[in-house]
Structure 1
Amino acid sequence: DLKKLPTEPATELSRFAVRSPFTGRIIKKDIVLGEVITNAKEIFVVADLTTVWIDLDLYRKDSDNVKKGQKVIITLPSHRQLPEAVIDYVAPLVDEKTRTTRARVIVNNEDEELRPGTFITAEIITKEIEAGVVIDRDILQEVGGQTCVFVQDEHGFEPRPVRLGGTNARKVEIIAGLSPGELVVVKNGFRLKAALETGIGSGCSTPGHVH
């Protein structure tokens, strides 16, 4: 459209429509009133934010386990999790300065909650296994040098030593010490731990209950 300017009547030069080749939002403006521009001048940057790329930086020790098509759990700064996404691309090279490898996820952003430059947290699922008992990691308590959970029974709360299996950032598998269906303390377990250590016993191996 800029090439047509010299041939337009002078009355048309006071206002000229600059049309974007696609629908989007203006994310950058580089023009001021009265400025002379040419065909090479970039005056606006328009972006379609309904779909965005999320770039993930992977440490070298982790990058070999990340493959295209793996599921990704993305958590926003607001702590809201996005619908499940997948790895779309893994760079073949390592950045010389950061010593990281870049992976990319493409996600739907029709509500435009994700803005360019936003930092997010991503958990890549590199392997899935069947697990009988899985609990949140923050349920675990260290009592007397042993890893325990507090289990509710007819007498109160019993500290139970457990053996851990597979784990990720949020969950942990229990392979011994806890059966499906047993009631465990999921919040404020540290208070039961304090009561046990100061009033009853020295650890999970010491018989005792907290009431």
Structure 2
Amino acid sequence: MKIRYIAYIIIALIIGYLVYSKLWGAKAKEAAAATGGAGGKGGKGGKKKGGPIPVKVMIVKDTTVINNIDVTGSIDANEKVNLISQTAGNITGIYFKEGSYVSKGQLLVKVYNQDLQASYQQVQYQVALAKQTEYRNKILLEKEAISKEEYETSLTSLNSLNAQGDMIKAQIARTEIRAPFSGTIGLRNVSPGGYLSPSTSIATLVNIDPAKLTFSVPERYLPLIQPGANISFTVASSNKKYNAKVYAIEPAIDATSRTITIRAQAANPKNELKAGAFAKINLTLDQIPKTIMVPTEVVIPDLKSSKVFLVKKGVATPQFVKTDLRTDTRIQITDGLKPGDSLIVSGIIQMRPKVALKITKVIK
């Protein structure tokens, strides 16, 4: 029994020693020193007081802003027509090459007209005879050999035959399809010997020099756009930037989209621009000579307005502002800031009123 008690005492002493070493030994003191320990040099409760927030500051100044907007539009031909015939008949000749340039008045397609040509020749013979009759009767009238009524009858017959000849000439002209303007002719839909009717499309004729550029802008910009304004645009088929000049504005605003349609002309001597192409347009509306522009990210939306933070006496100070024009990276401040203000442009998420600040960089 004594041996058992002695063993219990030894075990208790060992456990007590281990507990003492864990809580008050040298390693415990080192750990307490490393963490600052309660009541140590780190301050009450081991907490350190936070320092000022490092920020970058921009000195506000007036700048000149060019008000541009980007819109989309489409390229149209200056003139475009679907060629058809005014009369029906078999095609006796095709006088153009697909995709070629044709001049105004050039003969493109001819329809059978031999019967009309024969009728016209017959009328011409009758006109020649009627002229002789009218001339003789005129001489006889001067000599009072015939009455005035007889002369007028011969004159009316001559005029009637001339009119009949003119009508046949007009019918012959309709059998010849000519280019109404100069341009490039497209793919033909007819063949020699085929039957051509007024409902048959022969080909499409396009004049795309200059090219027309049609686009729409919001109605708020209407007072800023006038005929003669210059614009620039690009198309998907080329990396080149093209220029155009506004020449017409639709007088009415679209009630659905609240936009107004504008048309401009672009020189296209090499036919680089194609009708129906999609265009990205950069439109210069006006220039604001003196205004304040700040980075978009520094403006914090509020319930009723927007605000920014300024540096005043070393602390963050909120300032309510009014905004207007926006670009990809900047926003116009119309009220609330003045040149010389120190605007905070970094650490905006951490900003609170009266927070101490440390300026790391000044942007002028």
TM-score, with length taken from structure 2 = 0.34
CA separation of 1:4 and 1:76: change in aligned 2, threshold 3 A: closer
Matched ranges for 1:117-132 at <5 A: 117-130=276-289
What is the rounded CA distance, in whole Å, between the counterparts of 1:202 and 1:21 in structure 2? 71
- 2:269 counterpart of 1:110: yes
Matched ranges for 1:1-211 at <5 A: 5-7=112-114, 19-27=178-186, 29-31=188-190, 35-38=194-197, 41-77=200-236, 78=238, 80-83=240-243, 85-96=244-255, 98-130=257-289, 140=295, 142=297, 169=327, 176=339, 206-209=358-361
Higher relative contact order (CA 8 A, sep 6+): 2
What is the CA RMSD across the aligned residues, in angstroms? 4.5
Flag the structure with larger Rg: 2
Identity across aligned pairs (percent)?
A: 17
CA separation of 1:202 and 1:141: change in aligned 2, threshold 3 A: farther
Asked if structure 1 preserves the Cα contact closer than 8 Å seen for 2:296 and 2:329, the reply is: no
Listed as ranges, the gaps of 5+ residues in structure 1 are 10-16, 148-162, 179-192
Deviations along 1:33-70, whole A, 9 cap, x unmatched?
A: 76411356441111122211000112233334322122
DSSP 3-state at the match of 2:359: coil
Q: Which has the higher helix share?
A: 2
What is the rounded CA distance, in whole Å, between the counterparts of 1:144 and 1:24 in structure 2? 55
1:105 shift after superposition: 0.3
Asked if structure 2 preserves the Cα contact closer than 8 Å seen for 1:74 and 1:121, the reply is: yes
Asked if structure 1 preserves the Cα contact closer than 8 Å seen for 2:110 and 2:177, the reply is: no
CA separation of 1:168 and 1:30: change in aligned 2, threshold 3 A: farther
What is the rounded CA distance, in whole Å, between the counterparts of 2:272 and 2:340 in structure 1? 43
Deviations along 1:158-206, whole A, 9 cap, x unmatched?
A: xxxxx9998575796898469xxxxxxxxxxxxxx9xx76xxx957x74
